[in-house]
């Protein structure tokens, strides 16, 4: 159970209205990739991403698609940096697809990605071995390490352990 769940705050399963995705699909997608790669590079710089896992991701392409927002982020890991891709590759090495609520539940460790996968709420496509590397890397992150590095916010972020 996550720290967030202990505080009585849980992210419910939800799906945004269809018009949100229809609008989101028409917007430029590269800002999502820039934001995601910036966050991933910051995590790598803080040392919370295992170096051995990162080395195994060298030259691989990734897509994260959020169905109900119409957004997607495409990126690669090359030369010790996550780098945005401004065009979505036709066949990325690994693709994660889900609704926003599923990604939020995984990010806050409210829900395990395996559970969402087996409940068909999270789609993982591509290189199975690479998928396991990414999953194990994310599982190894101690979110409490990140909290002291974040700027002071006017609210408490729900970062804790499963």
The CATH number given to whatever domain includes residue 129 is 3.30.1050.10
The residue to which tokens 């036709």 are assigned: 90
Q: In which domain, by residue range, is 126 found? A: 3-149
Residue 127 structure tokens: 């290189």
φ/ψ of residue 19, rounded to 5: -65, -25
In a domain, 25, yes or no: yes
In a domain, 99, yes or no: yes
pLDDT of residue 148: 59
Q: What is the pLDDT of residues 71-121, one digit of tens each?
A: 999 999 999 999 999 999 999 999 999 999 999 999 888 999 999 999 999
Domain count for the chain: 1
In a domain, 154, yes or no: no
In a domain, 75, yes or no: yes
């Amino acid at each position: 159970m996550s720290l967030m769940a202990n505080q009585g705050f849980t992210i419910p399963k939800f799906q945004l209205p269809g018009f949100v995705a229809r609008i989101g699909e028409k917007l430029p997608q590269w800002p999502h990739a820039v934001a995601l790669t910036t966050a991933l590079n910051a995590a790598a710089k803080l040392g919370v991403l295992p170096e051995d896992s990162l080395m195994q991701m060298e030259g691989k392409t990734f897509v994260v698609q959020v169905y109900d927002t119409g957004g997607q982020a495409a990126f690669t890991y090359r030369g010790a940096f996550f780098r945005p891709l401004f065009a979505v590759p036709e066949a990325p090495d690994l693709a994660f697809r889900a609704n926003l609520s599923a990604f939020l539940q995984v990010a806050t460790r409210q829900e395990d990605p395996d559970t969402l996968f087996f409940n068909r709420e999270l789609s993982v496509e591509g290189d199975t071995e690479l998928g396991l590397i990414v999953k194990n890397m994310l599982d190894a992150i101690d979110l409490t390490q990140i909290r002291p590095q974040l700027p002071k916010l006017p609210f408490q972020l729900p970062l804790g352990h499963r």
